[in-house]
Every structure is written in C-alpha cells, then in structure tokens.
Homo-oligomer: A and B are copies of this chain.
Amino acid sequence: MSITVVGSVAYDSIETPAGRRERCLGGAATYFALAASFFCDVRVIAVVGEDFGAEQEGVFRAHNVDTRGIERAPGKSFFWEGSYLENLNEAKTHSTELNVFAAFEPKIPEAYRDSDFLFLANIDPVLQRRVREAMPGVKLVAGDTMNYWINDHRPALLEMLKGLDILLINDTETRVLGGNKNLVQAAKAVMAMGPRVLVVKHGEYGATLFHRSTPRSGSAEQTFRAPALPLEEVVDPTGAGDSFAGGFFGYLASQREITPGAFRRAMFYGSVMGSFAVERFGTERLEQLSRAQIDERFARFRELTHLD
C-alpha cells in the first residue's frame, strides 16, 4: 500500500552535547518519509527553495520515495536552527525562517490520488484540512500537530481533527489539547474531538496507544504501551517523533488488514524507528539503515518488555 505525506522538507542547523551540524536535510515530512519507506511506498507533498539540490533529492530517491509532489519555488527552503544543550528532551529554537514555506499551497499530483493512506505532518491545520479534503478516497488518515497550533489556532485545529482517524502527539500536547492534567482523561477528551486512535509519545519512555471506546469495542481495543530502548547515547533527538510516526504508519500500511495486533506491532516499529533516528545527526542513521537491522531491533524491544 502507499502513503502520501504532506509536511515540511527543510534544512536544520542543530547543536547537541554530541556536536553541531549545519544545514542538515530535515523537516517532518523528510523523517516521516524515510522511516516509512522501509515498509511501503511513500509520496511526498512539500515545497522547497532553490537551495534544494540533486544531493537532497537523491536521499529520497535512494529510498524509492516519490518526490513529484515536492514543489520548487523561488527563494530559500524552510530553515530551522535549534539546540538541545540543557535538555535532550526539548529543543531550544534559535531561529525559524519559513522562507518558501510561508506561502505553501499544497498541490496534489494526479499520480498521488490513488494513495491508500494519508499522513498530515505538523503544518498549519488549515493546510492539513485542505489536503485531507482533496483526498477523499484514502482509507486511513493520521496526523501530527504541536503546541503552537493547539494554543494559537485552536478553531482551525479542531476542524482538522474531525477528519483524522489517528492523531500522534506527545504528553504535553495531549494534556494541553485535552485540557486535563491526567493523561487518560486528556486522551479521552482529545479522541472526542475526532480521532478514534490517539498515540501519545513519551520520548525516552515509549508511547501509549489509546482507542476511543465504542459500544462494540471489546478487550481487543485496549490501551497499549510500547517501550523505548534505554539508550546510552542520544546524538540528536531531532526527528524522533516524525520517525516514530513513519515507522508506525508505514508498518500499518504494509498490512493487508488493520487488526489490533497490527496496531501493537506498529507501535513497536514506531519506537524502533525513533530509536534509530536519534543515534546520529539529522537523517544520517535513517539513510543507512536496513530492514534486517530494523527487525533485529524489533526483536530486542520484545525481549526488553516481554515476560517470556
């Protein structure tokens, strides 16, 4: 099956306790696409500037990611500069230059219209909603957002959420969006806004999947918690959440049927892809990964958490 992802393709300058990198290839759609590409066909909708060249294009191509939806616009690509010197769990943003992204009008190539799944990475919820409405034929829609949209663009975000099957956000975002300090109660409030599945990412503690209970839902639709691997060194946390989303949604797209068991394995694959992403700067680790390494780590995650 195939996934279309809409989101940012960008350059990042990143400083962490492990060092500094200037203008790495980054952006939520980039991490998502690379992570998902190990499981299914991926098609990207984004906009880049004149500074996006053959080398960057080659990173997508090497993973068979369809780049026909990456529009070239006059000017520079989206640029983000941040550091994690004090706290590896939270980036300190030094600079955000939207550049060509400021006027982004997602255009959906004809060839993308038969996509099975749609992922709306973290961008303006007005654009997320527009893309979702332009692709009525997709079977499953997942998306991400962030505190900026939750706090300052709530009405647009709430409209967008109505069109989502699955929302992936972190603990703080869940509590703020759901308006409740208790995670379970906040999760219920968020699912009442639209998504029937909510994946809450806990960073180094893994992630929890909540299902909206329905009159028909039984024990097969229980809450599920996936671990994260305790890592001896986190080189660069950038993109961990997007890589989680790529592994999670990519694995789901590789399944013939979306069973409760498929959701469970997808949570593990999400954690696995997030754990790889942080091992090197930017997309370096994802670029050099093999499916065998992914499955080996999947087995380690099982060993890490299973009783027998």
Check: A196 CB closer than 8 A to any chain B CB: no
Q: Which of A49-57, A69-77, A229-237, A249-257 contacts B (4 or more CB under 8 A)?
A: A229-237
Q: Are the C-beta atoms of A225 and B222 separated by less than 8 Å?
A: no
Report the interface size for chain A: residues with CB under 8 A from the other chain.
36
Residue of B nearest to A210 (CB): B230
Contact of A306 (CB < 8 Å), options: B183, B185, B230, B307: B307
A62–B307 CA distance with the chains assembled, in angstroms: 32
Q: Are the C-beta atoms of A184 and B261 separated by less than 8 Å?
A: no
Contact of A225 (CB < 8 Å), options: B208, B230, B264, B268: B230
Q: Are the C-beta atoms of A88 and B305 separated by less than 8 Å?
A: no
Check: A219 CB closer than 8 A to any chain B CB: yes
Q: Which of A117-125, A160-168, A199-207 contacts B (4 or more CB under 8 A)?
A: A199-207
Q: Are the C-beta atoms of B303 and A305 separated by less than 8 Å?
A: no
A 209-226 binary contact with B (CB < 8 Å = 1; else 0): 010000000010011111
Q: Are the C-beta atoms of B224 and A208 separated by less than 8 Å?
A: no
Q: Are the C-beta atoms of A304 and B223 separated by less than 8 Å?
A: yes
Q: Are the C-beta atoms of A231 and B304 separated by less than 8 Å?
A: no
Check: A152 CB closer than 8 A to any chain B CB: no
> Number of copies of this chain in the oligomer?
2
Within the complex, what minimum Cβ distance (angstroms) separates A74 from chain B? 44
A261–B205 CA distance with the chains assembled, in angstroms: 22
Check: A293 CB closer than 8 A to any chain B CB: no
A 274-308 binary contact with B (CB < 8 Å = 1; else 0): 00000000000000000000000000001111111
Residue of B nearest to A231 (CB): B184
A302–B268 CA distance with the chains assembled, in angstroms: 15
Check: A181 CB closer than 8 A to any chain B CB: yes
Supposing A205-B202, A225-B230 touch, asked if A268 and B307 sit within 8 A by C-beta, the answer is yes
A→B interface (CB under 8 Å): 88, 181-185, 187, 202, 204-206, 208, 210, 219, 222-227, 230-234, 261, 264-265, 268, 302-308
Known: A223-B230, A225-B304. 12 other contacts (CB 8 A): A183-B230, A205-B205, A205-B206, A206-B225, A208-B230, A210-B230, A222-B303, A224-B305, A227-B227, A227-B305, A305-B305, A305-B306
